[in-house]
Amino acid sequence: MINFTRKKTEMPEQSVAQRRSSFAESQTGYTEDMAICEAMRCLKCREHPCMTRGCPVHNDIPAFIDCICEGRFEDAYQILSKTTCLPAVCGRVCPQEQQCEGNCVRGIKGESVSIGALERFVADWHRNHVIATAAAETPRIGKKVAVVGAGPAGIAAAGDLAALGYDVTVFEKTDVLGGVLTYGIPEFRLPKEIVKDEIRKLEERKVTFELGKALGKDFTLDDLQGSMGFSAVFLGVGTGVALNMNVPGEDLSGCYLAQDFLNAINLKQDNADKFPRYHTIAIVGGGNVAMDACRSAVRTGADRVVIVYRRTEAEMPAYDAEIKEAREEGAEFVFLTKPVEILGQDGKVTGLKCLNTKLDENHKAVDVPGTEHTMDADCVIMAIGNGADTELMNKCGLKCDRKGRLEADPETLETSRPGVYAGGDAVTGPLTVISAMGAGRKAAAAIHKKLSGN
């Protein structure tokens, strides 16, 4: 039976007042009855555009939704597990509105099926109801593969390669696993325990983790492919170099890169209480990192949090849901405004000097002469993007394109250096968790084909 209700089943969530003062997860998830009700909104269309056009890893969305309709939640989880190793993560942080849900037929005349919420429900149900059992021992192939970077791409590649029987070692330059999932995304969007649970699954597959080991510092590609004896290398190094505005005043106390601000809070939640209490925090940028920084700033107790963006809301790359929740939590938005200097006194931030902008015919922000004005702020957080470490890649003898992204074969993801593969943000630029994960799985398949001949 199909539920012809045009509106999605609303996701339960904390009140705005609770959210403003807590890093606990904002949305609390569907109940079983809610999940079944929402799953029954699927029209079971023949083309499955949600799966074929919308999902980067082509999750079998119709099949897992069918299982939910029948109350077979563990079967739904097993179907998802064939194509994604991080369903609990992707169900929370993937841009479903642009991918699976953006291609859902129900969205033509009403709201699309809430596929992301259903994926999250299935993953959470499995975690809460199924007792983990030791995985069957996979016969070892006797070949070693190195994975550099423990983010979504690296985790996906390591999981698939270990399941195929390779001895996999993951090298991570920080002292935490999960990459951006751990240090970049706040607890209220993605609880860290969920990431740890996914890491535990890799440990059960005998994946070895080497923390605090950085490429170019503690080892080289020559080491990995030579004396360390690895038959192949996968680079999932992401875009870890935060960009700044290159304006005067960036060295003032109270001026932060969003990456540093989020790292400090996400890696040790108690830091949110220890973070200096500012009156007005200005966040420069309009992407998801800016929204994460903004909503985290609200939770530090700032009196006022303002997003400053050089274009209009229509051009903001942040997810619609994140913009909506930031507004609900009290964040202010100032559009068509570009900071040109961070003002200070006695070495501390006191404000921003800004220019008004306007959009040209290509929707590019251009300055409006004579519109200089100042904005009060005692803290500035720059969230204008991240780039790849091109200097490191060049030292490794790897080719990069003019934007500094690693060049890799589109079919195999092998780089300019034989036996070295790469995927995720370092190749594509910043995209989504599931896109990076799809790249890791694609590279794992290519590595297996080359090393085994299968």
**Structural domain includes residue 419:** yes
Domain end, chosen from 129, 159, 181, is at: 129
User: In terms of domains, do 368 and 248 share one?
Assistant: yes
User: In terms of domains, do 249 and 359 share one?
Assistant: yes
For position 380, what pLDDT does the model report?
98
pLDDT digits (tens, 9 = 90+) for 67-118: 999 999 999 999 999 988 889 999 999 889 989 999 999 999 999 999 999 9
- Structural domain including 57 reads 16-129
For position 355, what pLDDT does the model report?
97
| CATH code, domain carrying 115 | 1.10.1060.10
**Structural domain includes residue 11:** no
The C-alpha atoms of residue 390 and residue 448 are separated, in whole angstroms, by 28
Is the pLDDT at 144 greater than 60? The verdict is: yes
User: In terms of domains, do 315 and 376 share one?
Assistant: yes
User: In terms of domains, do 262 and 369 share one?
Assistant: yes
**Structural domain includes residue 3:** no
| CATH code, domain carrying 191 | 3.50.50.60
Q: In this structure, which amino acid lies at residue 123?
A: A
**Structural domain includes residue 314:** yes
User: In terms of domains, do 210 and 276 share one?
Assistant: no
Closest listed residue to residue 159, CA positions, set 182, 180, 175, 135: 135
User: In terms of domains, do 198 and 255 share one?
Assistant: no
User: In terms of domains, do 218 and 247 share one?
Assistant: no
List Cβ neighbours of 28 (8 Å cut-off, separation of 6 or more). Answer: 11, 12, 13, 14
**Structural domain includes residue 299:** yes
**Structural domain includes residue 252:** yes
pTM: 0.89
Question: Which has the minimum average pLDDT: 122-131, 278-287, 307-316?
Answer: 122-131
For position 290, what pLDDT does the model report?
96
Q: How many domains does the chain have?
A: 3
CB 21 within 8 A of CB 186: no
List Cβ neighbours of 158 (8 Å cut-off, separation of 6 or more). Answer: 147, 168, 170, 202, 207, 440
Task: Find the mean pLDDT for residues 39-65.
Answer: 94
Domain end, chosen from 129, 155, 174, is at: 129
**Structural domain includes residue 8:** no
| C-alpha dihedral, 304 to 308 to 312 to 315, nearest 10° | -110
User: In terms of domains, do 261 and 331 share one?
Assistant: yes
**Structural domain includes residue 137:** no
Domain end, chosen from 386, 403, 436, is at: 386
User: In terms of domains, do 233 and 259 share one?
Assistant: no
